[in-house]
């Protein structure tokens, strides 16, 4: 057998072994500093017990070991909740073991799939039952877009079909006509299924607010709404998420738009790290040197490299305009945060330069670069997710009774957000993955590119 095939077999064996064996054992993490995330605090000298997918106790009293327990030395380490990727994707059957395992190995313990397919319903159930190594999985149905939704009747029928099939939400892509979207939204609210994603140009941000999107992803529609030019606006005018419009936007419109979004209760999934990689001055070769690229498919990294270099050489925007685009998005993010709009962590993995799991941590760094504190950035992937999912206190925190989704770190993430990547161990629904096991699996992925 060729070395690459052997490495792939090793990856599958490790993943299946982790899924099969790291299940019912009690885990005791001793003498650790807890970052509870329901408040900004560091609580030293804690002993944390995990059983049957839940945190059963957190306290200063040492816990006696039982036969068969997994004992973890937390001295000098920091324990925080696992984080969520709220704009993620899964791929083909061949890619999914890698994608799902990478999420888990990087402490991404909840993932919302934003381009669903019928097979993802069974995948969601397999993950929930512990048959596959990976995060808790929430899935949209197949895309609503200008090809799949062209009339009001078709829109309403497609909503009812996806609701009946059991999808968790509807994924909105660009290009849906306004009348069809009116029908889509009415049908979705009637059956009680949320919808979110892109904001079609015919709908616009004000239409998204009126129709009560569940989430707006990528900050889509904001720059277009700040543009004072005539309507309707075309995709050729806007460019990539409004990049072409940046020199002519009217910033005075922003406070009113943010207030409307807040009043409507629409959460935002910024995916700022995706934007940063796309418009930065970094070459493809520089981006390909990121440590996590060794775990992703070599042919895709090569394609990303060529495409980035072509964009820098022939792209529609100057370096100054690209920098202004980033600065404007940072301003929008800060205004949303100040207004108390619910921000949810998501990077759009595995899109360009976004290796599953690792890119969610890069999104945390992008949020801090935009002006959020490390604690507020971490909230977007922990307690904010619990609020959005209607389970406050039961996930996204380190407290008794919460889901046993945790990351053990070698350094304090509240001091430096980059420390979230200094991972010493991960608990995924109570299954403990030690630092050694994690490194073995990552090494296997690096060998099978």
Q: Are residues 156 and 226 in the same domain?
A: yes
* CATH at residue 31: 2.30.40.10
Q: Cite the beta strand spans of 35-181 per DSSP E.
A: 43-51, 54-59, 70-73, 78-81, 83-88, 108-113, 136-139, 170-172
- 9 shares its domain with 132: no
Nearest to 240 by CA among 192, 282, 274, 290: 274
Residues 144 and 225 grouped into a single domain = yes
Dihedral sign from CA coordinates of 218, 223, 224, 226: positive
Residue 300 in domain: yes
* Longest distance between any two alpha carbons in the chain, whole Å: 72
Give, as one character, the DSSP assignment of residue 25. -
What pLDDT shows up at residue 94?
Answer: 81
**Shared-domain flag, residues 180 and 309:** yes
Distance CA 66, CA 104 (A): 27
Comparing CA positions, the residue from 365, 405, 372, 407 lying closest to residue 389 is 405
Residues 336 and 431 in one domain: no
Residue 143 DSSP code: P
Same domain as 442, residue 311: no
Dihedral (C-alpha) 92, 94, 99, 101: value to the nearest 10 degrees? 140
Q: What count of residues does the chain have?
A: 449
Range of the domain at 27: 3-81+399-447
Same domain, 151 and 50: no
User: Same domain, yes or no, for 42 and 133?
Assistant: no
Answer yes or no: do 413 and 308 share one domain: no
The answer as to whether 256 is a domain residue is yes
Q: How far apart are the first and last CA of the chain?
A: 16
CA distance 58 to 400: 6
Cα separation, 151 vs 159, in Å, equals 12
Contact 46, 388 (CB under 8 A): no
Residue 383: name the closest of 416, 349, 342, 332 by CA.
342
Same structural domain, 218 and 116: yes
Residues 376 and 265 in one domain: yes
pLDDT in the model for residue 23? 56
Residue 394 domain flag? no
Handedness of CA 64, 67, 69, 75 (dihedral sign): positive
Angle, helices 272-279 vs 358-370, to 10°: value is 80
Tell me if 427 sits within 8 A of 82, measured CB to CB. yes
In sequence order, which residues have a C-beta less than 8 Å from that of residue 148 and are 6 or more positions away?
A: 142, 154, 158
> Cβ(352)–Cβ(302) under 8 Å?
no
Tell me what pLDDT residue 92 has: 80
Give every CB contact of residue 123 below 8 A, 6+ residues apart in sequence. Answer: 90, 96, 132, 137, 139
| pLDDT score of 24 | 67
* Cα dihedral 229, 371, 215, 206 in deg (nearest 10): -20
In 355-433, alpha helices (H): 358-370, 374-380, 383-389
Looking at the structure of the chain, the number of domains it has is 2
Q: What pTM, to 2 d.p., does this model score? A: 0.94
C-beta of residue 225 within 8 angstroms of C-beta of residue 206 = yes
Q: Are residues 382 and 412 in the same domain?
A: no
- Within a domain: 248: yes
Predicted confidence at residue 3, as pLDDT, reads 35
| H or E element at residue 31 | strand 27-34
User: Would strands 423-428 and 43-51 be described as parallel, antiparallel, or unpaired?
Assistant: unpaired
Query: Is residue 15 domain-resident?
Result: yes
3-53: pLDDT as tens digits:
333 344 444 444 444 444 445 689 999 999 999 999 999 999 999 999 999
Q: What is the CATH number of the domain that holds 297?
A: 3.20.20.140
Q: What is the pLDDT of residues 94-106, one digit of tens each?
A: 889 999 999 999 9
What stretches in the chain show pLDDT beneath 50? 1-22
| In a domain? residue 265 | yes
Query: 20 in a domain, yes or no?
Result: yes
């Amino acid at each position: 057998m060729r070395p690459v095939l052997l490495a792939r077999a090793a990856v599958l064996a490790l993943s299946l072994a982790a899924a099969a064996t790291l299940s019912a054992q009690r885990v005791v993490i001793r003498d650790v500093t807890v970052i509870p995330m329901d408040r900004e605090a560091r609580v030293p000298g804690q002993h944390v017990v995990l059983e049957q997918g839940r945190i059963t106790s957190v306290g200063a009293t040492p816990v006696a070991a039982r036969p068969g327990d997994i004992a973890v030395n937390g001295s000098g380490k920091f324990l925080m909740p696992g984080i969520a990727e709220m704009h993620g994707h899964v791929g083909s059957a061949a890619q999914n073991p890698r994608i799902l395992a990478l999420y888990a190995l990087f402490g991404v313990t909840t993932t919302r799939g934003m381009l669903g397919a019928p097979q993802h319903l069974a995948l969601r159930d397999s993950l929930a039952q512990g048959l596959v190594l990976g995060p808790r999985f929430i899935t949209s149905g197949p895309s609503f877009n200008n090809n799949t939704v062209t009339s009001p009747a078709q829109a309403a029928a497609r909503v009812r079909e996806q609701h009946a099939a059991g999808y968790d939400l509807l994924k909105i892509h660009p290009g849906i006509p306004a009348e069809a979207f009116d029908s889509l939204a009415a049908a979705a609210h009637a059956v009680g299924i949320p919808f979110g994603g892109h904001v079609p140009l015919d709908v616009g941000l004000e239409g998204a607010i009126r129709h009560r999107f569940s989430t707006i992803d990528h900050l889509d529609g904001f720059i277009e709404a700040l543009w004072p030019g005539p309507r309707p606006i075309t995709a050729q005018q806007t460019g990539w998420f409004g990049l072409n419009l940046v020199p002519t936007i009217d910033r005075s419109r922003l406070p009113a738009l943010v207030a409307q979004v807040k009043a409507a209760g629409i959460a935002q999934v910024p995916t700022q790290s995706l934007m940063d990689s796309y418009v930065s001055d970094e070459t493809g070769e520089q981006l390909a040197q990121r440590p996590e690229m060794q775990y992703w498919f070599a042919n895709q990294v090569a394609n990303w490299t060529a495409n980035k270099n072509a964009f820098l050489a022939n792209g529609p925007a100057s370096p100054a305009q690209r920098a202004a685009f980033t600065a404007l998005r940072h301003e929008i993010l800060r205004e949303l945060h100040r207004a108390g709009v619910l921000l949810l962590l998501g990077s759009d993995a595995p899109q360009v330069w976004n290796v599953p799991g690792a890119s969610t941590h890069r999104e945390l760094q992008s949020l801090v670069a935009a002006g959020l504190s490390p604690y507020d950035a971490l909230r977007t992937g922990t307690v904010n997710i619990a609020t959005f999912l209607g389970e406050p206190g039961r996930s996204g925190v380190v407290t008794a009774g919460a889901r046993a989704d945790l990351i053990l770190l070698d350094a304090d993430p509240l001091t430096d957000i980059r420390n979230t990547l200094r991972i010493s161990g991960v608990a995924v629904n109570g299954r403990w993955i030690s630092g050694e096991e994690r490194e073995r699996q990552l090494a296997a992925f690096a060998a099978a590119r």
